[in-house]
Amino acid sequence: MTDHMGYGADGTPHRVVVVGAGFGGLNFVASAKMAGLEITLIDRQNHHLFQPLLYQAAITVLPVTDIAWPIRTLMRDRPDVRVVQAEVCDVDLEAREVRTHPEGSYPYDTLILSPGSVTSYFGNDEWAAMAPGLKTASDAMAIRTRILAAFEQCEREASGRAPCISIIGGGPTGVELAGMIATLCQKELKDEFRSFNPSDSTIVLIDAADRLLPNLPDDLSAYGAARLRKMGIELRLGEKVTGCHDGGVSLESGDLACDTVIWAAGTRAVPVAKWLGVEAERGGRVPVSRDLSLPGHGDVFVIGDCAEVEWKDGKSVPGIAPAAKQQGAYLAGLLRHRLGKGRDPGPFVYRHQGDLATIGPNQAAVDFGWIKLTGRLAWWLWGLAHIYFLIGVRSRIAVLLHWFWLRLLDRSDARLALAAHDDAGAVPGEDEDENDGQDRS
């Protein structure tokens, strides 16, 4: 265990390397302002992405620029923070440095690892080309283009056939995607095609579990399923996917022909455990101590999607944005204390603020523990919560205006298909990237 007594006593800045500019990493940096630290913030992307609304960028509701912000712009007024765009490939615990590609080495006194998660295909990574996940801005644009391309293909066929779109995964992301795609087909695209009716599109939501929204109580799960069925969405629950191919998906019950397939079934942690040379737990998470440090290394901390943190009733802290933000703020307080600049925060205590999921237009399900809500009021609460967590007044106003415009006219101005096409008109597969919210870190 590293001795933390006397940090900064020689007058030199305490060097903190933060890997990942997601919710956890950024909240640490924000909470550590004026702490006298020398912070290096490393991320493979040049922007912070508000993942809880990423599905709306994929389904043409919002421009990506309203939910993503350049990291350098966010740090413009922080001379204590150096931003590095690079991909971490190793951590040398003995030399106390982080190594990156392109080649770089960044020494630390304290290391905070919060690089988030990537899409998991449960050992079937070859499915990624046919069923892209939704973790990055480029993923959102690729999915948007695939969906819009499916409608254009049906228009060219002029057979009267409408597209079939399948979403694999019945968690919050899958449910939200299904509801928004149904709205796109039934409202936004009406009267825009001549060879077929977009409202005749088939939308299928597939999950191996026997119910949707496993993070919500049974009654809210049943409400969500009833709402989706009322919107005309076909639910294939209790069916395991055995393959994804150009023509659709294979299920245990048989093949399902689809024009577009979207993967929302799982995530895994960025391989922090491999960097640290430790054994990972479920989903690739690294087990940490009560102060979020790596056992035996009190100067190394793991937070967000990559951390396995004990919570209550045998459960772990969920990999969602509020948890990551709490962990980032906690570490800032802990480090201040170790530098003699604040009180001891004690062990990390997660405060769950509730679970929310939208289910189509003006409908949502909310579980605050002490109260459960559904319908329009729940949707307003969901919207207010997400607006609150956006960065900056401009983004809040822009998102509100886009939502207002969509509700007023049933039209969105974010329906540009920008991803490249190959000669056959298909959209190439996108690489996996980091950082559900549900981070949803």
Give the catalytic positions in this structure: 176
HEC assignment per residue over the chain:
CCCCCCCCCCCCCEEEEEECCCHHHHHHHHHCCCCCEEEEEEECCCEEECHHHHHHHHCCCCCHHHCEEEHHHHCCCCCCEEEEECEEEEEECCCCEEEEECCEEEECCEEEECCCEEECCCCCHHHHHCCCCCCCHHHHHHHHHHHHHHHHHHHHHCCCCCCEEEEECCCHHHHHHHHHHHHHHHHHCCCCCCCCCHHHCEEEEEECCCCCCCCCCHHHHHHHHHHHHHCCCEEEECCCEEEEECCEEEECCEEEECCEEEECCCEEECCHHHHHCCCCCHHHCEECCCCCEECCEEEEEECHHHEECECCCCCECCCEHHHHHHHHHHHHHHHHHHCCCCCCCCCCCCCCCCEEEECCCCCEEEECCCCEEEEHHHHHHHHHHHHHHCCCHHHHHHHHHHHHHHHHHCCCCCCCCCCCCCCCCCCCCCCCCCCCCCEEC
Measured CA to CA, the distance from residue 190 to residue 184 in angstroms comes to 9
Question: In whole angstroms, how large is the CA radius of gyration of the chain?
Answer: 22
